[in-house]
Structure 1
Amino acid sequence: MAAPMERMILQSDWQYSLREEKGRAWITYKGTNCPSVHGHLDTQGISREGLPELTGTDGFTVHNISKYTLTAQYSGELGSLTRKFVAPQISFSAIHKQNKSAVCGYVTAGGLGVSCDSGNQLLVWQTSDGEVRRRLEGHKGDVYTCQFFPSGVVILTGGADMQLKIWSAETAKCAATLVGHTAGILETAVIDRGRNIVSCGRDGTAKLWDVGQSSVLTTFKDCGGIVNSCSVEVMDNSIDLGAPDNPPSEREVSTEGKMLLLGCENATLQGYGLRSRQKIFELDCHSAVNVVTFLSDVQAVCGTQDGHVTVVDIRNVRVPLKEWQESRSAILSLLPHKQGFFASTGDGSCFYVDERQETRAELTGADCDPVYKTVCDGSHVYTSCRDGTIRRYSLLHV
């Protein structure tokens, strides 16, 4: 079993508490197979720039602080670790009602976001100020997944009612409903411009759809149980995706050279040739695979219910590039960024892992509430949390 990773935890509202007179924030170091070290950061004064001057206790020191970032170091008998903490630029707490979890979301570079809460409110809002622009009404039950098509004006959703719906973000009208799953739909993937899409769910299948005719082109059935997550990517030419037994339908567009990646409840990561329908690999994982995504045309990453993160090279999945267990709880979302990724967990953590598979920064703000989704518009990262708040962070600070 992969060893737990060492980590540092900082009080979630540090950017406010440390700017108070005689401010204080708690900080903790958790090493590998050793007791945790608990300390404090104390404000000794405020600089001309309005930044707190800090001292630490119990081996903690502060190397740098700005309006939204703090870099702290622990150095002691149990280990040494430096970590950067990033506070949200803005927290949107009024998009969803109080006491309603923000369970999924998506944003575009054009300034729109879409998200759903535990009260089944599916909302389109402005990323600049959080103003709600549209309410999408039509699903019967929980909505588990929502995303924009590449155009930025069409939205795809799916949920417990076993339906996929396609909406206009401009009019809030449902343009099409796709029916074919026999249990709740948990995630979707849009292929290129969106003439075809993929969905997966609790019925143990993944389906490739023709959006124009609202029909199923093929069903991936032998997945071994609930399919929690799916992702599609163009693969490197060195990866053999197999050949289809029959010529594809003319309604199937841009599936050639692509792999379908599935994360399954039966603790497996599975890869299929999207056009060939052939299973390319199946990798046993430590527990239910909650989320999967591609990092490049040869690399992918998955996160499990027991907190394991596995980075693999598709050319040799049997030997992971790196695998570790986070002490933070279940991995709930993964977001590729540059050659690394953001990961969010069930204990309120959201952190960035760089191309060397080293944790570089922690996004703060959520106080032990699960962070269900992490998305990006090219300049900012947004998180959806059980406390109902959507938080926005600048990528410049990470």
Structure 2
Amino acid sequence: MGKVNVSKLKTFTGHNDCVYTLERTQYDHMFFSGAGDGMVVFWNLMESENGQLIAKLPNSVYSLHYLKNQNLLVAGHNYDGIHLLDWEKKEEVGSLKMTDHAIFDINSFENHLYVSDASGTVTVVDLKSLHVVYKINNSLKSARAIAINEQSREMAVGYSDNKVRIFNLDDYQLVRELEGHENSVFTVKYSPDGQLLVTAGRDAHLKIWDVQAGYLELEDIVAHMYAINNLDFSPDGKHFVTCSMDKSIKIWDTHAFRLLKVIDKARHAGHGTSVNKLLWSSYKDLLVSASDDRAISVWDIEFDS
């Protein structure tokens, strides 16, 4: 097993509350963050100074989603629906009061936006008209996370009733239910090749499912001490990272499902509180992490062959 070298390159500060979400742009070195202070901020990995404020909303922002084709940012504004932002002009260009619940995740496929909220609803929004076209109601517990598999045209949704549900993106019908988690599922992610689905949540277990084998469960790993909040794959798909309420970030081998490295405060000057979100950038393969400590950290990760 090759050695993994980790070094902390920089810390971005400026948020006044817990940083809950990170989102990519079409540029590898640029990303957005959203936080409990309602601020949506734009950052540049090539620079060291703090970011630019894109929008200031009255309530917490748990979710952001970048629409590459329109070059717009969608912000999930708790209790007030979604806001479409022209981030370069720092202007709101549209909004939809579609729910009065907390919005936990946003994703998109083709011409539709998918918004999951605390009522257990996944709302399908037509991006051109900004109208609701369908509501997926398969649980009374929160719909916490959404992942899109473009190859199979499926959507995985993690819920607080401990289940992961797979929906067909052509008619939004339920394809299957995945059981096995013992508590809320906070994060779901397909591998870049679409062959694996990785899920995790409050039970601190990491579950890996084989998509082509009908979502056969391949692994069940006790991965952290406390809830796993998020995960992301490396740009080449060979590795993935998890982050937890236990304040740590862990690096894993995608194919062997093996733990390779732990990033924490004691060994790497990591976060001092819960780590909420990860973004593994294509820019120099840098890893970005966001935490309850209000900071955004940037990590250089090198794999020795």
Indicate the TM-score class for this superposition, using the shorter chain for normalisation: 0.7 to 0.9
**Whole-angstrom CA distance in 2 between matches of 1:218 and 1:174:** 24
SS in 1 for 2:52: strand
Pairing 1:290-329 to 2, within 5 Å after superposition: 290-295=186-191, 296-316=193-213, 319-329=216-226
**Whole-angstrom CA distance in 2 between matches of 1:394 and 1:85:** 8
Report the counterpart of residue 136 of structure 1 in structure 2: 55
SS in 2 for 1:171: coil
1:351 aligns with 2:250: yes
Report the counterpart of residue 124 of structure 2 in structure 1: 208
Report the counterpart of residue 35 of structure 2 in structure 1: 117
Report the counterpart of residue 149 of structure 1 in structure 2: 67
Aligned AA (2:221): W
Shift of 1:164: 0.8
Aligned AA (2:201): T
Instruction: Report the more deviating stretch, 104-113 or 368-377.
Output: 104-113
**Whole-angstrom CA distance in 1 between matches of 2:82 and 2:281:** 23
**Whole-angstrom CA distance in 1 between matches of 2:224 and 2:128:** 45
Aligned residues: 291
Report the counterpart of residue 81 of structure 1 in structure 2: none
Structure 1 pair 95/368, CA: closer, same or farther in 2 (3 Å)?
closer
Report the counterpart of residue 159 of structure 1 in structure 2: 77
Instruction: Report the more deviating stretch, 139-148 or 381-390.
Output: 139-148
Shift of 1:318: 6.4
Report the counterpart of residue 15 of structure 1 in structure 2: none
Shift of 1:151: 4.8
Aligned AA (2:42): V
Report the counterpart of residue 141 of structure 2 in structure 1: 225
1:283 aligns with 2:178: yes
Report the counterpart of residue 335 of structure 1 in structure 2: 232
Greater relative contact order (CA < 8 Å, ≥ 6 in sequence): 2
1:380 aligns with 2:286: yes
SS in 1 for 2:207: strand
**Structure number, greater radius of gyration:** 1
Shift of 1:114: 1.4
Shift of 1:225: 1.8
Is contact 1:283–1:317 with CA below 8 Å preserved after alignment? no
> Percent same amino acid at aligned positions?
13
Structure 1 pair 260/318, CA: closer, same or farther in 2 (3 Å)?
closer
Structure 1 pair 367/375, CA: closer, same or farther in 2 (3 Å)?
closer
Shift of 1:213: 0.7
Is contact 1:110–1:152 with CA below 8 Å preserved after alignment? no
Pairing 1:245-256 to 2, within 5 Å after superposition: none
Q: Name the one with the larger strand percent.
A: 2
2:95 aligned to which of 167, 170, 177: 177
Report the counterpart of residue 167 of structure 2 in structure 1: 272
Aligned AA (1:377): S
1:96 aligned to which of 3, 12, 15: 15
Is contact 1:187–1:229 with CA below 8 Å preserved after alignment? yes
Shift of 1:395: 4.2
Shift of 1:179: 2.4
Is contact 2:271–2:291 with CA below 8 Å preserved after alignment? no
**Whole-angstrom CA distance in 2 between matches of 1:112 and 1:347:** 28
Report the counterpart of residue 360 of structure 1 in structure 2: 260
SS in 1 for 2:217: coil
Residues 213-253 of structure 1, C-alpha deviations (whole Å, 9 max, x = no match): 111121111234210111111235xxxxxxxxxxxxxxxxx
Using the size of structure 2 for normalisation, the TM-score is 0.87
Structure 1 pair 152/389, CA: closer, same or farther in 2 (3 Å)?
farther
Structure 1 pair 278/151, CA: closer, same or farther in 2 (3 Å)?
closer
